[in-house]
Amino acid sequence: MNVIFLEVAACVIRVHFKPSKDWEFQMQLLKKEIQESYKGFLREKPQKVDLYLEIEDVMDYEIVSRDSEKKNYIILYKDSAENKIITFPYISMLQFEFILRILLYRFLLTHNGIPLHTSAVAINGKACLFLGRSGSGKSTAMKLLSKKYTPLADDSGIITYENNNFYFYQTPFIEKQWWVKKTPQRYVLGKIFLLRQAKFYKTQKVEDKGYLLHRLMTQMLKDEGLKIQMKGKAVFDLAEKFASFYFLYFGKDEEKMMQLFEDFFER
């Protein structure tokens, strides 16, 4: 059977390429791209499957027209069940990734998971995350520390709550810093830093829970299909149960940034 399995944040996704007369070449090409792009997340014969993504045969492109807007839309996917999406062989790799994000993030938010815009490094075996708006320096913070601490993410990551502990998982998705090595490994969540660009280098404990909740909500990866109540509960649990939130004031000086973190983690 033409099937591959992916594991992301301890969630197993079954991707099934159904038989096709007219799209067999495109099916195999997409399968090869998925295997190459997500090779660290491939799994053989898992004991359980959480999500299903089926790529089914079609006669031709499925198109929806809006004459009033003079626009035409190609159908990318159909929701088949809460844990299953059906898509088509004409999609690109980027479109496959978009569909996989939707399927995965919907599942995570009902299973103690939070998808975030974040960069991250591993320090003393634990994941330290950097949160901020676009242009706030998420990639910069990660790169300034990358000579000593293992980079884990440049733009996206997943926090889960398992057995009364918070953990961090990498995503397989394409990011600007393509060189960051990615695996399905689980990391204990160490610290979360809210970024503030400055001319000085300093960390400060975040005490305002209201501000914290707002910032976390803005950092969640967007999916219009996710209910705001679902997002809010996941963020509220993180803000209430995880105690290590800090402001990070920093610039672009690698030596000062490294010294700040060495001192912070040796306290």
pLDDT tens-digit series, residues 78-129: 999 999 999 999 999 999 999 999 999 989 988 889 999 999 999 999 999 9
Residue 195 CB contacts under 8 Å (≥ 6 apart), including other chains: 130, 131, 132, 136, 137, 138, 141, 248, 250
Alpha helices in 119-199 (DSSP H): 138-145
Q: Is residue 199 predicted with pLDDT exceeding 90?
A: yes
Q: For residue 39, what are its two tokens?
A: 């090779």
Span 218-234, average pLDDT = 61
- What's the fold here for domain 113-265? Phosphoenolpyruvate Carboxykinase; domain 3 (3.90.228)
Domain with CATH 3.90.228.20 in the chain: 113-265
- Residue 67 vs residues 72, 78, 114, 175: alpha-carbon distances, Å: 8, 22, 39, 36
As a whole number, the mean pLDDT across the chain is 90
Span 8-34, average pLDDT = 93
Q: How far apart are CA 180 and CA 162, in angstroms?
A: 25
